[in-house]
Amino acid sequence: MDLVLRNVRLVDGDAVVIADIGVADGRIAAVEQGLNADAQEMDLEGRFAVGGFVESHIHLDKACILDRCKTEEGTLDEAIREVSAAKKAFTVEDIRARAIRTLEKCILQGTTRMRAHLEVDPVIGIKSIEAVLPLVAEYGWAIDLEICVFPQEGLLNNPGTDELMVEALKRGAHVVGGCPYTDSNPLGQIERIFEMAREFDVDIDFHLDFDTNPEGMTVGDVCELTEKHGYGGRVAIGHVSKLSALAPNQLAEISKRLANAGVAVTVLPSTDLYLMGADRDHDIVRGVAPVHRLIEDGVNCALSTNNVLNPFTPFGDCSMIRMANLYANIGQIGTGAGLRMCLDMVTHRPAKLMRLDDYGIAVGNPADIVILDCPSGVAAVQELAVPLYGFKRGRRTFTREPAQLHRP
Ligand SMILES: [Zn+2]
């Protein structure tokens, strides 16, 4: 063994147990009580561990631009307009610097795996890909980063974008994404994205149905194409805030459709809360899809940060535990089982969405371990537990000292 983490609390089914974790050659070699090993040791004093947070939907390329954008209306239109204008001045160096600032914040918050959504269009070309793709190797010591390329400003309506999407996939983008609600032909875009996915044999991650009008949903089209192309388990859809406007029987129908097709849903609660309902002056619609209802029907659902310090979301500490807590607040979730589900939506569920079959604290998996300053997963969500130490493949990646009182 190279390292033994003593007295760590871990989830064991619905229970929490205390055990020692042994690490050898970057992998978890043992999880047992009273582990007998001669190695460097660390006593975690009963603190709770997760396999790191999994951020399946975050925009590194347009993070940290509030110094150059207005946030007066708090609407999706304003966000798209402001970012579109700011993008004209983006350079590879500028995108790289902001992406690094955001990525390092994520690492310090305990995120060990990530899918970054990067946009291409004829104005910025593939600068986002050029800026962020090298970070996959440069930050491999702390995080597994995959890249999803998508057309934020539309595909079929925006000549030249298709070629840039293909170029990004050729350069190594791992996933193809879409944003049909900004396209003049939403269904046409969805069909073209499936075509690209099949050509490059990559998974799909759409931004979808992002308003609170229950009419005009495209989720059914995505399910149909997923089934037609045998893509079950390889398609995710983000936002889907229209789901928040459905009556229970309509929601149940779509929920079963998603479960059967194998389409996963990522809710982006901070962005949805900020941008939805801005047309109302009272009794504001919150527009967050009730994914805990979908989970009951067998849909895989995740929570993610989406945007950081830009007009889509002028907030952001890159904390996934905050997303879990935020969703518990919105979903009015207070039971132990419900709070554990919220934690799952920032750990195991997004790992499944990204098909990371080596994720989690189990013998044989990479030793990706994050220690939270709390005694259980339920407490982690209730108390917004602070990530104290992170390990990637057995090597420590960050340390945050526990807070101390200095009594008189
Ligand atoms: Zn997004």
Q: How much distance in Å is there from the Cα of 390 to the middle of ligand 1?
A: 26
Q: How much distance in Å is there from the Cα of 143 to the middle of ligand 1?
A: 20
- Res. 13: pLDDT tops 80: no
Q: How many CB atoms lie within 10 A of CB 186?
A: 21
pLDDT tens, residue by residue, 332-346:
999 999 999 999 999
Q: How much distance in Å is there from the Cα of 238 to the middle of ligand 1?
A: 7
Q: How much distance in Å is there from the Cα of 383 to the middle of ligand 1?
A: 27
The amino acid sitting at 306 is N
Task: Return the pLDDT at 36.
Answer: 95
Please say whether the beta carbons of 271 and 76 come within 8 A. no
Q: How much distance in Å is there from the Cα of 181 to the middle of ligand 1?
A: 12
Residue 59: band (very low, low, confident or very high) from pLDDT cuts 50, 70, 90: very high
Task: Return the pLDDT at 278.
Answer: 83
Please say whether the beta carbons of 239 and 208 come within 8 A. yes
Task: Return the pLDDT at 347.
Answer: 98
Q: How much distance in Å is there from the Cα of 282 to the middle of ligand 1?
A: 27
Q: How much distance in Å is there from the Cα of 405 to the middle of ligand 1?
A: 40
The DSSP H or E segment spanning 371 is strand 369-372
Q: How much distance in Å is there from the Cα of 126 to the middle of ligand 1?
A: 17
Average pLDDT score, the chain: 97
Q: How much distance in Å is there from the Cα of 313 to the middle of ligand 1?
A: 10
Q: How much distance in Å is there from the Cα of 156 to the middle of ligand 1?
A: 19
Q: How much distance in Å is there from the Cα of 29 to the middle of ligand 1?
A: 37
- Res. 295: pLDDT tops 90: yes
- Res. 165: pLDDT tops 80: yes
Q: Which residues contact 403 (CB under 8 A, 6 or more apart)?
A: 386
Average pLDDT over residues 158-178: 98
Average pLDDT over residues 92-99: 98
Q: How much distance in Å is there from the Cα of 376 to the middle of ligand 1?
A: 30
Going through 244-300 in order, the beta strands assigned E by DSSP cover 263-267
Rounded Cα distance, 223 and 206, in Å = 12
C-alpha distances in Å from residue 250, one per residue of 193, 215, 225, 243, 290: 27, 12, 21, 9, 13
Task: Return the pLDDT at 341.
Answer: 97
Give residue 303's Cα distance to chain centre: 6
Task: Return the pLDDT at 84.
Answer: 94
Average pLDDT over residues 252-270: 98
**72 burial level (CB within 10 Å; 0-12, 13-18, 19+):** exposed
Task: Return the pLDDT at 102.
Answer: 98
Q: How much distance in Å is there from the Cα of 323 to the middle of ligand 1?
A: 15
Q: How much distance in Å is there from the Cα of 150 to the middle of ligand 1?
A: 10
Q: How much distance in Å is there from the Cα of 330 to the middle of ligand 1?
A: 19
- Res. 16: pLDDT tops 90: no
Task: Return the pLDDT at 68.
Answer: 96
Task: Return the pLDDT at 294.
Answer: 97
Please say whether the beta carbons of 196 and 223 come within 8 A. no
Task: Return the pLDDT at 143.
Answer: 98
Please say whether the beta carbons of 263 and 225 come within 8 A. no
